[in-house]
Structure 1
Amino acid sequence: MSRIQLIKTFLYGISATFLAGCFMVFPKEAYEASVRGMTVWWEVVFPSLLPFFILSEFLIRFGVVSFLGTLFEPLMRPLFRVPGSGGFVWAMGLASGFPSGAKLTARLRQEGHVTQIEGERLASFTNASNPLFIFGAIAVGFFQNASIGLLLAAAHYGGNLIVGLVMRFHGRSIEQSKPVSARSVSFTAALRKMHHDRLNQQEPLGKMMGDAINSSIHTLLMIGGFMIFFSVLNQILEIIRFSDVVSLIISILLVGMHMPDALSPGIIAGLFEITLGSQRISGVSEATLLQQAVITSFILAFNGFSVQAQVASILSSTDIRFMPFFIARCIHAAVSAVLAFVLFTPLYTDRISEASLPVNSELVTDYTFQFIFIKIYDWLILYGSLVTLLSLLFWFCYNLKKD
């Protein structure tokens, strides 16, 4: 046994024992934190992600991903150095939110659609906050300002695009070079590929549906466990004053950037869990809206250790490494913060000024687009728990009958 492995075992054991002791010493605080994490997962995360997870399984099994991959190959390969099927992962990841990008990347790796290096590139820029969370929870729920949603979304998704362009250089030294396809898009070839992949699926439709639901709910249960654990962990670290030490370091950095040190508790919370961090940042009265937007963009892009742990767990079923994903999150956090600062005037200040004009059809369309996401988020708050309950009951009955 090597000395390093022995030290790691000792540190793991000490950390787990210490946390278990803290949970027993502060049971009330741990319970309240777990309820907060459970509520977000139960009402919003589960019902919003389940349809996307199930749909993505069907699209992969029916060959639709291969169809899209053939069509998008001339676009995705030269831009991001990933197969065309990465376009499907990117679109689904942006629409449904994290950790969908990691789950779909792992599935493509298991199906042989991507190599290890391509999977690491793909996972790095296909995990993002979904529009429901940005426009509904953060813009309206926390900031009470629907107009800030467009700025946060532009900085977040624009940062993802830049990360994808940067990560195209990852692994070039150890990857065999592939010629970029210069031929035009062929629908015939795409249909032929889709038909071939569908014929390779020998399972009946009913079993495919059951397996898709089963796999999706298993993943969502894992996500819920991580959300609850990191919610409790963040609360415990605050109680034992560990956060104060980190807060001192962050405060020094904030002063150097001419920002109030009152933002540091929200940043620490955001490093662990996005929702709590964004909520705290929105309530800092000492900071300007520009400063709040910049820090919130940073938190959204970093994803928080909770989401990163979910991604690490999902990727562990493949040979895709976690470290490139973590490096990409650091790059994304820095780029999104800069974009929020640069775009604040054209996408928020000027936009609010234009909103006072008598007629502006573009603004009306823009606000209608945001309104749709806000309404969907409100619907999830009202009925999301019912969807989660019914889905879990169906899953339980399915597995009970199968056994």
Structure 2
Amino acid sequence: MFRSKLKTLLLAITGIILALSLISYPEESFEASIRGLNMWWKIVFPSLLPFFIVSEMLIGFGVVKFIGVLLEPLMRPLFKVPGVGGFVWAMGWASGYPAGAKFTARMRQEGHLTQIEAERLVAFTNSSNPLFIFGAVAVGFFHNAHLGLLLAAAHYLGNICVGISMRFYGKEAPDKADEQGKNLKIREALSALHQTRLKDNRPIGKLLGDAVSSSIQTLLMVGGFIILFSVVNKLLYLLHITEALAKSIEILLSVFTFPEMLSIPFISGLFEITLGSDLISRVNDASLLQQAVMTSLILGFNGFSVQAQVASILAQTDIRFKPFFFARIMQGVFAGLFTVILWNPVYVRFNNKEQPADALPVFGDGARDLYHNIIDIGPLITIFSLMMYVIILFFRMKNNPKI
């Protein structure tokens, strides 16, 4: 009872402080809000929407179940999750966070995962996508395409290590899937695809409309969190809370002989990874290896902004958030360690080795060009998609006034 009252008091005080801060710093809050909005409608919305829509359609068509049956012999012994986790894992890598949480929650709602399996799966399927690592962080912030390969390798290897570690999380009674996983064939996969499509008897038009509506609703929620944490991060800096938190980080950094100037960018990155990565790249007193390690840490941790998005998605199910949070700490540590381990064999070797002009730098330039193209056309895609959403919602409300 006392703990509940204390929690209520803390939440109330936090809300009052936030409101007073917004009143005290209206101009700075507005600028931070615009920054978050620009990030959402220029980058996040147009880059995630196609993945979300296509994934929803693949689920309805039964393709995910087909893939799940095929991948059962791989995912079950390696990560102790059903084969459908392979689809969630791949989409999480390709589209970035919070896609892994969205698809894990959907698989749980469809009954493809138990609660423990869903908690294992969501722990390692939320990753930064390659476009962000190469285009935004490596090329955009550090102006170094070679660094993208190191950051990506450390990030995804850390992600795999988290998945393998989480297989030991939770206890479940052995089921038939564990015994039959090695004997599954193409025929069973095709049968599962067909049965799933028959079970979901929605017409293609309705299926597409549901996919668009569900995807846009999720992205609107994501946009709200991005804007909120952009403002919160700015207010924490203005109130000198970031500086106070950085003092404790400076002690830890000194143990590893990292410059104290990295403390404030690191704290900022714990809240929002884009801002943190940008600030880390501007610290001239740190070596490139130290900057890469700190960037890998915050990329693996995901930032509280992404974690809040995931928590909101998981709240719609019985999937607990605590295992996901501890997994983020694990991935940050793993990613930082892999950055140090791979520094010489990956970065130094490829950076010093003479390569054709169209090798890695061209990949980096391509990622940068694609990243900037998304920024240029992103607002148009966002506006068009929102208009389509409004039209779909209008006709649904017209046909069914109870909506």
AA aligned to 1:325 is: F
Deviation at 1:375, TM superposition (A): 2.8
- The answer as to 2:378 corresponding to 1:384 is yes
**Counterpart for residue 401 of structure 2:** none
1:93–1:127 contact (8 Å) kept in structure 2:
yes
Task: Spell out, residue by residue over 1:281-320, the C-alpha distance to the aligned partner (whole angstroms, 9 max, x if none).
Answer: 0000000000000000001000000000000000000000
Task: Spell out, residue by residue over 1:160-183, the C-alpha distance to the aligned partner (whole angstroms, 9 max, x if none).
Answer: 0000000000002xx112334463
AA aligned to 2:82 is: P
**Counterpart for residue 393 of structure 1:** 387
1:73–1:181 contact (8 Å) kept in structure 2:
no
Q: TM-score, normalised by structure 1?
A: 0.96
Measure the CA separation in 2 of the matches of 1:383 and 1:183: 46
Measure the CA separation in 2 of the matches of 1:203 and 1:381: 35
Task: Spell out, residue by residue over 1:220-267, the C-alpha distance to the aligned partner (whole angstroms, 9 max, x if none).
Answer: 000000001011001111111111211110011111100100001100
**Counterpart for residue 301 of structure 1:** 300
AA aligned to 1:147 is: H
From 354, 379, 402, give the equivalent of 2:396.
402
2:139–2:364 contact (8 Å) kept in structure 1:
no
Measure the CA separation in 2 of the matches of 1:182 and 1:310: 33
- The answer as to 2:174 corresponding to 1:177 is yes
Measure the CA separation in 2 of the matches of 1:69 and 1:280: 41
Measure the CA separation in 1 of the matches of 2:379 and 2:129: 19
Task: Spell out, residue by residue over 1:160-210, the C-alpha distance to the aligned partner (whole angstroms, 9 max, x if none).
Answer: 0000000000002xx112334463441111000000000011221111111
1:74–1:180 contact (8 Å) kept in structure 2:
no
AA aligned to 1:139 is: A
2:212–2:389 contact (8 Å) kept in structure 1:
yes
Query: Taking every aligned residue pair, what percent have the same amino acid on both sides?
Result: 52
**Counterpart for residue 374 of structure 1:** 368
Q: State the SS of the aligned residue for 2:127.
A: coil
- The answer as to 2:42 corresponding to 1:30 is no
Matches within 5 A, 1:3-402: 3-172=2-171, 175-178=172-175, 179-181=178-180, 183-354=182-353, 356=354, 364=358, 366-402=360-396
Measure the CA separation in 2 of the matches of 1:180 and 1:248: 53
Measure the CA separation in 2 of the matches of 1:49 and 1:41: 10
Q: CA RMSD in A?
A: 1.3
Deviation at 1:369, TM superposition (A): 4.5
Q: TM-score, normalised by structure 2?
A: 0.96
Measure the CA separation in 2 of the matches of 1:368 and 1:383: 22
Question: How many pairs does the alignment contain?
Answer: 395
1:77–1:180 contact (8 Å) kept in structure 2:
no
Deviation at 1:374, TM superposition (A): 2.9
2:140–2:368 contact (8 Å) kept in structure 1:
no
Deviation at 1:321, TM superposition (A): 0.2
Measure the CA separation in 2 of the matches of 1:89 and 1:370: 26
AA aligned to 2:389 is: W
- Change over 3 Å in CA distance of 1:148–1:246 after alignment to 2: same
AA aligned to 1:399 is: L
Q: Which runs of 5+ in 1 are unaligned?
A: none
Measure the CA separation in 1 of the matches of 2:53 and 2:352: 43
Measure the CA separation in 2 of the matches of 1:180 and 1:304: 39
Measure the CA separation in 1 of the matches of 2:181 and 2:20: 61
Deviates more, 1:4-13 or 1:26-35: 4-13
Deviates more, 1:190-199 or 1:368-377: 368-377
Measure the CA separation in 2 of the matches of 1:20 and 1:285: 36
Deviation at 1:373, TM superposition (A): 3.0
Measure the CA separation in 2 of the matches of 1:165 and 1:373: 30
- Change over 3 Å in CA distance of 1:180–1:259 after alignment to 2: farther
Q: State the SS of the aligned residue for 1:346.
A: helix
AA aligned to 1:237 is: L
Deviation at 1:353, TM superposition (A): 1.2
Q: Which runs of 5+ in 2 are unaligned?
A: 398-403
- Change over 3 Å in CA distance of 1:154–1:13 after alignment to 2: same
2:76–2:181 contact (8 Å) kept in structure 1:
no
Task: Spell out, residue by residue over 1:347-390, the C-alpha distance to the aligned partner (whole angstroms, 9 max, x if none).
Answer: 11111111x25x5xxx9555554444333212101111111111
